[in-house]
Amino acid sequence: MATATPEAAAATATATAEQTNGGAGAGEQKTRHSEVGHKSLLKSDELYQYILETSVYPREHECMKELREVTAKHPWNLMTTSADEGQFLNLLLKLIGAKKTMEIGVYTGYSLLATALAIPDDGTILAMDINRENYELGLPSIEKAGVAHKIEFREGPALPVLDQLLEEESNHGSFDFVFVDADKDNYLNYHERLMKLVRIGGLVGYDNTLWNGSVVLPADAPMRKYIRYYRDFVLEINKALAADDRVEICQLPVGDGITLCRRVK
């Protein structure tokens, strides 16, 4: 079980390309990829910057921008969802018409606000995080956006909350969308429960499934401690999702990799 230390929190982070840049053959330069909100696995910084400046920032909701800027000042800011991924989630949720949703791993709430802005006024997000303080950093921006009423925040580890939900039959097959962005060593535990809580045809997004590109590094390659620690879990998740016939999947190289799973049985 992860603890609330910066290290443990960073372990669940959306990692930057900094690590990859420090790895074998990936180039020497410290790039803009390593800055907050400039995270991508794209090999060209210019191309990523182009996407942000052309299509993302000009269309970013002002409260999302505010929340992103508040987050940038926080010491664990590498964990935040990037602006392009936030835009992706927002559009995705509208496309699937999600109404009842869940988020595991809130941090300061960038993906949470992207979700809250996408769902209808009577839509709901059950948001879970072991850390309430960080959520409260972003909360003023969420309130300003007029969407805080859609959010029910639960402080504490997510797994017991899922088990509690499962005790109530009416929760089974009731969620349209779940964004999983917390402790990677629990993803498979979450998955087993979510396969009962999400409706058939509903969607689960697992974040950071490319784990800073480390999934293709040799085991003895230099890696940050938290990258190395969670790498095996991410490799295991990716294999398990690919082999799971309860879902159709699509792994996208957005942000740090997001695997979309549509429940089919």
In the bound complex, which residue of the shown chain has the CB atom lying closest to Ca ion?
14
The residue among 13 and 17 lying less far from ligand SAH, judged by its C-beta, is 13
Considering the complex, what minimum distance in angstroms separates the CB of residue 255 from Ca ion?
Answer: 6
Name the DSSP class of 53.
I
How far is C-alpha 124 from the chain's CA centre? 18
Contact residues: ligand SAH, CB under 6 A: 2, 9, 12-13, 79-81, 104-108, 110-111, 128-131, 134, 157-158, 181-183, 186
The residue among 116 and 130 lying less far from ligand SAH, judged by its C-beta, is 130
**Of 107, 138, 127, 111, residue with least CA distance to 9:** 107
DSSP codes of every residue in 233-263: HHHHHHHHHHH-TTEEEEEE-STT-EEEEEE
241 contact, one of ligand SAH, Ca ion, none, CB 5-8 Å limit per kind = none
Instruction: At 117, list the tokens.
Output: 């802005």
The residue among 26 and 77 lying less far from ligand SAH, judged by its C-beta, is 77
Considering the complex, what minimum distance in angstroms separates the CB of residue 193 from ligand SAH?
Answer: 13
The residue among 156 and 222 lying less far from ligand SAH, judged by its C-beta, is 156
The residue among 60 and 129 lying less far from ligand SAH, judged by its C-beta, is 129
- Which residues, at least 6 apart from 187, have a Cβ–Cβ distance to it below 8 Å? 180, 206, 233, 237
Q: Strands, DSSP E only, in the chain?
A: 100-104, 124-129, 151-155, 175-180, 198-207, 247-252, 258-263
Considering the complex, what minimum distance in angstroms separates the CB of residue 79 from ligand SAH?
Answer: 4
Cα dihedral 95/112/242/198 (nearest 10): -70
Considering the complex, what minimum distance in angstroms separates the CB of residue 105 from ligand SAH?
Answer: 3
Coil, helix or strand at residue 42: coil
Contact residues: Ca ion, CB under 5 A: 14, 181, 207-208
Considering the complex, what minimum distance in angstroms separates the CB of residue 82 from ligand SAH?
Answer: 9
